[in-house]
Amino acid sequence: MEELLYLEIPTPELNEVQDWLATQWLAPGKVVTNSGVRVVLETGELSVFLWSLQRTTYLKVFRWTKQVIAGEQGILRSLTAEIRSAFPHHYPQLPVIDLSNKSIFEAIAPFYPKTAEYFQKMPKGEADLQRVYWWEKCWRESVRNPQQPKQVVFPSSITTNPDYDLIYIGGALGVIHAAVMAKIGYRVLLLERLPFGRMNREWNISRDEFQRLIDLGLFTTAEFESLIAREYMDGFSKFFDANNPVKLQSKVLATPTVLNICIDAEKLLRVCGDKLRAAGGEIWDETEFQRVDVNSKSATVTATYLPDGSQRVANGRLAIDAMGTASPIAWQLNGSGTFNSVCPTVGAVISKGFAPEVWDVKYGDVLFSHGDISRGRQLIWELFPGDGDEITVYLFHYHQINAENPGSLLEMYEDFFAILPEYRRCDMEKMEWRKPTFGYIPGHFTTGSKDRTIAFDRVLAIGDAASLQSPLVFTGFGSLVRNMPRLTHLLDTALTHDLLTANDLNLVCAYQSNVAVTWMFSKGMMVPTGQHLPPQRVNVMLNNFFGLLANEAPEVADTFIKDRTDWLTFNRLALKAAWQNPALLLWIWQMAGTKDLLRWLVSYFNFTMAALVNFCFGGWVPGLAWRWQSSIESQSPRQWLRLLSWVYSLRGGGKNTKIQWKIPMPVKTAKTTEATGVLS
């Protein structure tokens, strides 16, 4: 028996496809079977077989002999063309709902029945489902109208004296950075649209990454230990390879120091909030941002207090956009270039329900797929045990920004609740749901340090709003924490010298040439809208590369996934992958397109030049800059900021870059006291 054809048919309706094969498809010698049809010819027989997985229908055609049957290629071409015409890609629109006389559950149920059913079993399911709907609506509107972003930042001729140094807009990642800046001694205000401390995602990190926050003085080691909900022995990455060529099947990649610490995210936010207030900062929660007016001395932020609709106004030296993907400031800054990739991500925190034999809580799934391309997406799972019996499960896919197909959270949730038992054997009726986890995690295909704007005068974007996240696991939390010393040092320098123009603030970034060049890996996981790829294509590519990592020393995978890979390691792995699978380059070109491939070559050139510059200057410039700081900073603060930003960019701000920085203590309590930190 020989396999001749493998197709993904983008519909969950297996019976409709079966009926079409039986009644609509015209083929000689067709005999209907329980799972497809047989095509009986004079010189042989073909078997067309259907099955369903991941709410998707798959089709394979087999020949029962090794001998080629006359006319078989014509039959295969006809079947492919006709079935794709009968079952084209379908990108559901967001349903328009009216909540004036019905609940969100009643409104959503006709379109997404499982989503409505299981959200009703969550403690705050009604409010959370409304948030899912709101988030998807905002995302769709922003993607479909990229050329007309809503203006929310306005120049103003009216000068005002600032009451705060920093006004953070967004309280998830924002409060972590806000607490650091408040402890340094800055007057900080934080605005949060939700009740403070609410999270729709859980956070995982490693010990060496979180150490950055300890070094900055935000947490003690004991406080960090109190935030750990679970520490795993190991985390695994494995991709479905039943349909891969044998040489491109791979073993499990074990990464014991990647995302192996499960943080109690809501407790982390509460602690950061307490530290922020203790340092003199303020938090305005349930306060929705409306606009910011910028003048020569300050940024005036106008917001709405949601409980009563009243207006709130605050003046600060600098406004920090930490609103994440849906940030209107980010969209105004970059328009259609704000993001060019995204991970629609859904999931849930499950209090209990997984049997012990299904999953050992000492382990986590970092990246896992249990099937091939599904309705134009390669679905990927993550699973992280938490405190006690809790388990957090995510389902996501890498996705190109597309107005016709922006990516749907509700569609993903319907998949999540339907196929979770396929991923891990479980009884959905025995699950105890604590809360949902969801969001759009953005990505920017970077070519150079200046191709994305992150600042207006006196307005700066950080975190997801600045597309600061890892290209493989899309962890905005981990990326921000890894770059926290760099961002804090640069921002402190800019504030100290009032270098708050757009040109100055664009230096307060965490651009890494090694991260920019690895965006091609995430591009290789995105199925272009409207295209039909071989169903196994993405899994073959993932197994190709992760199989190489599995055969390397553990630190190679660790540094790669944590955005620390260097030029030599990257090129060695890329060459090995191409040697093992010569078709890889052609596949990437087909998926990324000529334009993005050329853009990637620019990224690679910049990566190479950065490696050369680092080789020439990385060993001695940081030390020299530190010795000359007093002279340069006193005579030309702007040049010092530029030099400092460049020094941090050497080695991409990775683990090999050592910057000595004297962390200033709060002026109110210790004007002459300084704590010294060595930041990496």
Q: What is the pLDDT of residues 462-515, one digit of tens each?
A: 887 776 666 665 567 888 888 899 999 999 999 999 999 999 999 998 777 777
pLDDT bin (cut points 50, 70, 90) of residue 389 is confident
Q: What is the pLDDT of residues 199-221, one digit of tens each?
A: 767 788 999 989 999 999 999 99
210 within 8 A of 224, measured Cβ to Cβ = yes
Q: Structure tokens of 650?
A: 């050497």
DSSP H or E segment with residue 47: strand 44-53
- Residue among 57, 50, 43, 68 nearest 13 (CA): 57
Q: Is pLDDT above 60 for 138?
A: yes
Q: What is the mean pLDDT of residues 651-662?
A: 49
Measured CA to CA, the distance from residue 328 to residue 461 in angstroms comes to: 11
Measured CA to CA, the distance from residue 429 to residue 121 in angstroms comes to: 10
Measured CA to CA, the distance from residue 534 to residue 541 in angstroms comes to: 12
Measured CA to CA, the distance from residue 525 to residue 508 in angstroms comes to: 30
- Residue among 251, 237, 523, 254 nearest 380 (CA): 237
Give the per-residue pLDDT at 671. Answer: 32
Radius of gyration of the chain (CA): 26
Q: What is the pLDDT of residues 544-577, one digit of tens each?
A: 989 999 999 989 988 888 878 889 999 999 899 9
Q: What is 2-86's CATH topology?
A: TATA-Binding Protein (3.30.310)
Q: What is the mean pLDDT of residues 97-112?
A: 94
Measured CA to CA, the distance from residue 9 to residue 87 in angstroms comes to: 7
Measured CA to CA, the distance from residue 109 to residue 179 in angstroms comes to: 42
Give the per-residue pLDDT at 310. Answer: 96
Q: Structure tokens of 665?
A: 């203590």
∠5-10-14 over CA atoms, to 5°?
85
pLDDT bin (cut points 50, 70, 90) of residue 285 is very high
Measured CA to CA, the distance from residue 40 to residue 27 in angstroms comes to: 9
10 within 8 A of 68, measured Cβ to Cβ = no
Give the per-residue pLDDT at 662. Answer: 53
Helix and strand numbers (H, E) in the chain are 22, 27
Q: Structure tokens of 213?
A: 């926050």
Residues in CB range of 95: below 8 A, 6 or more apart: 107, 108, 110, 111
- Give the single-character DSSP code of 663: E
Q: What is the pLDDT of residues 323-366, one digit of tens each?
A: 876 788 988 887 766 677 888 999 999 998 888 888 888 899 99
Measured CA to CA, the distance from residue 444 to residue 485 in angstroms comes to: 22
Measured CA to CA, the distance from residue 526 to residue 342 in angstroms comes to: 10
Higher pLDDT, 643 or 479: 643
pLDDT bin (cut points 50, 70, 90) of residue 584 is confident
pLDDT bin (cut points 50, 70, 90) of residue 521 is confident
Give me the phi and psi of 258, to 5 degrees please: -115, 120
Lowest mean pLDDT among 167-176, 602-611, 655-664: 655-664
Q: Cα(first)–Cα(last) distance of the chain, in Å? A: 58
Pairing state between β 459-461 and 310-321: parallel
Number of CB atoms found within 10 A of residue 412's CB: 23
Higher pLDDT, 131 or 333: 131
Give the per-residue pLDDT at 146. Answer: 65
Lowest mean pLDDT among 261-270, 383-392, 462-471: 462-471
Residue whose tokens read 């609506």: 137
Number of CB atoms found within 10 A of residue 648's CB: 25
Higher pLDDT, 356 or 136: 136
Q: Is pLDDT above 90 for 378?
A: yes
Q: Where are the domains of the chain?
A: 2-86
Pairing state between β 310-321 and 164-169: parallel
Measured CA to CA, the distance from residue 81 to residue 576 in angstroms comes to: 36
Q: Is pLDDT above 60 for 460?
A: yes
pLDDT bin (cut points 50, 70, 90) of residue 673 is very low
Measured CA to CA, the distance from residue 254 to residue 413 in angstroms comes to: 28
Partners of residue 41 on adjacent β-strands: 44
**Amino acid present at 523:** K
Measured CA to CA, the distance from residue 446 to residue 511 in angstroms comes to: 9
167 within 8 A of 314, measured Cβ to Cβ = yes
Q: Is pLDDT above 90 for 619?
A: no
DSSP H or E segment with residue 418: helix 409-423
Q: Is 673 exposed, middle or buried (0-12, 13-18, 19+ CB in 10 A)?
A: exposed
In this prediction, what percent of the chain has a pLDDT beyond 90?
58
**Amino acid present at 536:** Q
Q: What is the pLDDT of residues 188-204, one digit of tens each?
A: 999 999 899 877 677 88
483 within 8 A of 213, measured Cβ to Cβ = no
DSSP H or E segment with residue 288: strand 287-294
Number of CB atoms found within 10 A of residue 160's CB: 16
652 within 8 A of 610, measured Cβ to Cβ = yes
Task: Provide DSSP, 50-97.
Answer: EEEETTEEEEEEEESSSSPPTTHHHHHHHHHHHHHHHS----PPPPP-
Lowest mean pLDDT among 372-386, 421-435, 444-458: 444-458
Measured CA to CA, the distance from residue 655 to residue 673 in angstroms comes to: 28
pTM of the predicted structure, to 2 decimals: 0.86
**Amino acid present at 205:** I
Give the per-residue pLDDT at 680. Answer: 31
Higher pLDDT, 603 or 223: 223
Lowest mean pLDDT among 301-305, 455-459, 585-589: 585-589
Give the per-residue pLDDT at 640. Answer: 95
Q: What is the mean pLDDT of residues 6-24?
A: 96
Q: What is the mean pLDDT of residues 434-457?
A: 79
Q: Structure tokens of 441?
A: 């995690």
**Amino acid present at 661:** W
Measured CA to CA, the distance from residue 318 to residue 315 in angstroms comes to: 9
Note the residue count of the chain.
Answer: 680
Q: Is pLDDT above 50 for 656?
A: no
* DSSP H helices in 87-172: 104-108, 113-119, 125-144
Number of CB atoms found within 10 A of residue 655's CB: 14
Give the per-residue pLDDT at 667. Answer: 44
Q: Is pLDDT above 70 for 663?
A: no
Partners of residue 440 on adjacent β-strands: 344
Residue whose tokens read 């010569």: 582
pLDDT bin (cut points 50, 70, 90) of residue 8 is very high
Q: What is the pLDDT of residues 210-250, one digit of tens each?
A: 999 999 999 999 999 999 999 999 999 999 999 998 888 89
Give me the phi and psi of 228, to 5 degrees please: -80, 120
How far CA 303 is from CA of 192, 311, 312, 364, 535, in Å, comes to 10, 6, 5, 40, 48
466 within 8 A of 441, measured Cβ to Cβ = no
**Amino acid present at 398:** Y
Measured CA to CA, the distance from residue 319 to residue 321 in angstroms comes to: 7
* DSSP H helices in 286-408: 328-334
